[in-house]
Chain A
Amino acid sequence: MSVDLDQTPRSLLVCDRSSFLNEKNRISSQVEQLHFNYKVSLLLPECSSAPSHLDAVFNSFNSFYLIRNMPIYELLDKHFLKTAVYQGSVYGVSYRTRIDEDNCVALMPNGHLSLSLDKDSFELLGVEGKPSRFNHRTTCRYVVCVDLTDSSMAPGGRGYQRLLTGLRSRLQLKTDFLLSHHPGGGASLQDLLSRYDWSEHRPDVSSHTLTDLSCPALQSCDLQSCDPHSLLEWIGAVDAHISCENSSSSFLSSLVCPEPKTTVSRALSVSVCGLLLPQDVHRLIQQIRYYLEQPRLESWVSLTVHGFVDSPVSWRGNEHGVLRGGENFYSLLIFHDQTYQLHLATGAHDTCPP
C-alpha cells in the first residue's frame, strides 16, 4: 500500500503545564482568546452533587440570543454600533451555516467583523479581502475582515458605505445569528433584536453522576505522568459515556483507561451548551480553584471547553476552517496545589493555539 494512505491531515496539540501562582501563566489570555465557546464540560471526581457556588456559576452563564434570518448589514447599523460594539464586547457568530460550504460571519468582541465567503460571494461583495489560508490549489474561499471600531469604518465613512452597500444591495447575506453581549446582556442588543424574529436562550446545563469510574492516577507534578493523548482520550470517553472497562481481547473495543489507574466511587460530570462567553468560563475557573482549596479525596478537576466548529475564527481571531472535524478546544486539568495542565487542540485548518 502506498505511503499516502497512511498519512492523515495535520493536527496540533499544545500541552502547557504551569501554576496559577506563576506570574508567567497565560491561562486567562488563552481562555479570553477563544471567543466562541460552544460547550463547557466539567468532571468532578469524588463528588455526587455540585457545590452551591459552582452551581451558581453554571446558572449564571450569560444568556444568548438567536436572530432568525438577519441580514448581515444590520451589524453595521449606526445605533447598534453605538450601543453595543463601541460599548463592551459583542460576541456574534452565524448559526446553522457550515464554514466548508456556506458563508460564515463572526463579530468578535474587539469589534472585528470577519466574513468567510465563497469565491462567488466575495466577487459580488466588492470589499477587499484575503484568500483563505486553507485553499487547496484553486482559491475558492476568501476572508474579509474589517475593524468596525476603526475610523474608516465609522458610520458615513467611505469604507463603511462601501461595506454597507455591498451587504445591502450586492451580496444580500442573511443568516441565523447568535448574539451575546458583555457586560450589557440583552439590553444592549434590544434595539437590533426587536426588528427581527428572535428568541432568548439560556445555556443548557446538564449533569449526571458516574459511579465506580476507573480513572488515571493524576499527579500534578509532571506532564509525563500520563501521555496527553491517552489522557484526552480518557476524558473524551468519560464525556461521551464510553465504557473503558474492556479487555484487550474484546471483539468490539479494546479501549482501556491509561495506566496507572485508580477507581473513584463516584464522579459528577456537568456540561453547559450554548454560546458561552470567555468571561463566564473564566469565572468558572476561579470558582473551581476555590473549590479545590478545600481538602478532598481526589484533588483534581477537569474542565473542557469546545469552540464553535463553524466559526470563521479560533484563537486570537486567527482563521479557522473545517477539514474533517474543525476541532478547536482546550482541556484544563486543575490540581489542588494551584498547578494546572492545559491541552489546546486544533485540527488541520487552524493555526497554532497561543
Chain B
Amino acid sequence: MSPADKKDKPADYQRVVLKNASPYHYMKVCLVLEDESTRLSAVDLKQFIISGLKSLYGEVGAALTFDLLKYDEDTLTAFLRVNSRGLVKLWSSLTLLGSYQNQACAFRVLQVSPFLLALTGNSRELQLD
C-alpha cells in the first residue's frame, strides 16, 4: 500500500504506481450441480454462499459483505465482488461448499482478479474453430 510518486513535470507528466491498493477483489465462479436441471435465482445463490460462510466461519463470517454483481441463470456463472481482506474467507467457504439441497455441488473458481476489467478479457475464453 505504498503509492510511489515519480513526478517529472507536475503539470505535464505524472506517474503513480499503486501496489496492492485495490480495495476489492473480483471472482468469476461457476456452480456445478449434480442435477443439471436445477435452477437457482440470484437471491438463492447469494443466500447459499452466505450459508457456506456461516458454516465455516460462524456468525462473524456470515457478516462478511460481498456483492453478486452479475449472475447468469443458464450457466450458473456469477461475478462476485468482495473486500480484498475477505477474499480468502469467501474463497475458502466456496471451496468447502459441497452440497446444495442434498445434492452434491461444487464451485469452480474461474478467475480471480483485483480488477473487474480483467474478468471481461480472459483470453482463455477465446474460441476459434
Contact = CB atoms under 8 A, between A and B. Distances in A.
Interface of A: 1, 4-8, 10-19, 22, 24-25, 38-39, 41, 66, 95, 98, 199, 201, 223, 228-229, 232-233, 235-237, 239-242, 251-255, 273-274, 304, 306-311, 324-325, 327, 329, 331, 345, 347, 352
Contacts of A19: 12
B88 interface: yes
Nearest to B122: A309
Nearest to B42: A252
B16 A306 contact: no
Nearest to A10: B20
B78 to A, nearest CB: 10
B69 A325 contact: no
Q: Chain A's interface: helix, strand, loop or mixed, by majority?
A: mixed
Contacts of A237: 69, 116
B104 interface: no
A38 B124 CA distance: 10
B115 A345 contact: yes
A165 B127 CA distance: 33
Given A8-B20, A8-B25, A25 B114 contact: no
Contacts of B24: 229, 233
A309 B16 contact: no
Contact of B111 (A17, A98, A324, A345): A324
B88 A8 contact: yes
B19 to A, nearest CB: 6
A16 B14 contact: yes
A15 B6 CA distance: 11
Given A232-B115, A239-B120, A306-B123, A253 B67 contact: yes
Contacts of B79: 240, 242
B85 A6 contact: yes
A345 B117 contact: yes
A11 B22 contact: yes
Contacts of A352: 17
A329 B13 contact: no
Contacts of B23: 229
B62 to A, nearest CB: 14
A351 to B, nearest CB: 12
A239 B17 contact: no
Contacts of A324: 111-113
Contact of B13 (A13, A25, A273, A345): A25
Given A223-B14, A255-B67, A345 B118 contact: yes
A329 B84 contact: no
Nearest to A93: B123
